[in-house]
Structure formats: C-alpha cells, structure tokens
Amino acid sequence: MLELHDVTAGYTRRAPVFRGASLTVASGESVGLLGPSGCGKSTLARVAALLHRPDAGRVVLDGTEIRAWRHRAPRAQRTAVGVVFQQPRLSADPRLRLADLIAEPLRATGRRDEIPERLAALVPAVGLTDDLLTRRPHEVSDGQLQRACLARALILRPRWLICDEMTAMLDASTTAALVAAVESYRAETGAGLLAVGHDRVLLNRWCGRTLDWAECLAEQG
C-alpha cells in the first residue's frame, strides 16, 4: 500500500502549496488524480515518489513510514517507486544517449550486468527501436524521449509507478502507446499506479478509480 495521510507540502513553509491531502493506492490498483493546473497535484506526486519532503503528514510505503527523502531514503524504498514527469526534456540529461538514459538507474545501483537484458526487454515494450538508442535527446521527438523516460522509470522493476501528466504534451497515438506499455507492465508485475492529470476522460479510461483534487483534500488520513 502507498499511503499519504494529511500531507501539507510546498516550497516555503510559510506558504505551502496545499494542506491536508490524503490518498491511498493499493498494490495492483490504478488511481487517477484529477485537478487543474497549479492546484498542487504535481507536488503531491513528488511527495509520493519520495522526491519532496512534506512539511507535515505521513507517507507510508508497504507498511513502513517514510523517514528520509531523495538520496537519503534507503535504496529499497527509492527503487520501489518509478516516476515519469510531464516534460521529458527537463528530466533527461541532454548529454546522454537514450540507451544510457534508460540504463542510468541500473548503473547508479551497481547493477550494470543487467543492462543488456533489461534494455532488450524494455526498448520494444515502450515502442522504441534500436536505431534510436544511439541518439541524444535533441535528436529525437518529445514522444520518443518520453518513451525512453518511461523505460528508465521501469528498468528497476518498481512496485509503484507515478505518472505525473506523462502524456500531457503528446499526441493521441503516443498517449495510447505509453498507457498500453504501463498497463502491460502492471499486468506482468502487479505494480500499483498513481496517474496525475487534468484529462478526466483519459484518467477514467485508464484507472480503476479517479479522485478529484477536492476529494483528495477532503479524505481523512
């Protein structure tokens, strides 16, 4: 279970982006979080991904309360969560070829020997081709780069996946392909999903249940 209880978070303590947000995602469940731009849902997604320390509240992952964040969190917790952001060009190192971009988490965790096998499985699963792997981000389209970012998020086989407006900048066919890739991975692994967005139709089709932002704030932890 991924649980956020009565979370308050922001970038200055005097003016948090939101107060008292709660949600839960069960293992294997897909939950959509719907809200307008600027409401704080992306900040909440970063809290859920262990990338942003909240000012108040509790985050519980697989029964263990989170006590440390980002690189200070234990490796087992950090690698349990994969995240895909809205803007791939802001989350990809422009110096890396796509193959290195995708494999980055394996190198960072000392698992270089797994790179060939995981690349061979993930590249076709996200709709990339081998010829794209030698290119750098500026040499591919937004859709191709986002496919690589999704592969990077999946390469450690996380138990939880957070997609923060993953398809907001993409066309309909690429959106459908990426959603299909996520669902194929979830069917294989039983991973839980939190999908953040502003497209109600997409979230309702994709997720087992969809929370409006106001409901998230109204839930009791």
| Residue 219 pLDDT | 56
In the sheet with 64-65, reading across from the earlier edge strand, the strands are 18-25, 2-9, 56-61, 64-65
What are the φ and ψ backbone dihedral angles of 2, each rounded to 5 degrees? -105, 120
| Residue 88 pLDDT | 94
Q: Which residues of the chain have pLDDT under 50?
A: 220-221
Name the CA dihedral angle for 10, 72, 62, 163, rounded to a multiple of 10 degrees: 50
pLDDT digits (tens, 9 = 90+) for 30-84: 999 999 888 899 999 999 999 999 999 999 999 999 999 998 999 999 999 999 9
Q: Which are the contacts of 121, defined by CB distance < 8 A and separation ≥ 6?
A: none
Neighbour-count burial of 116, counting CB atoms closer than 10 A to its CB (0-12 exposed, 13-18 middle, 19+ buried): exposed
| Residue 9 pLDDT | 95
The number of helices, as runs of H, and strands, as runs of E, in the chain is 9, 9
3-state secondary structure of 74: coil
Distance (Å, whole) CA 35 – CA 133: 35
User: What is the DSSP code string of 125-147?
Assistant: HTT--GGGGGS-GGGS-HHHHHH
Q: Which are the contacts of 181, defined by CB distance < 8 A and separation ≥ 6?
A: 125, 126, 127, 147, 150
pTM, whole model, 2 decimals? 0.93
Residue with tokens 């069960």: 26
Distance (Å, whole) CA 178 – CA 127: 8
Distance (Å, whole) CA 54 – CA 48: 10
| Residue 37 pLDDT | 86
Distance of CA 15 to the CA centre of its chain: 26
Distance (Å, whole) CA 39 – CA 106: 34
Distance (Å, whole) CA 71 – CA 178: 28
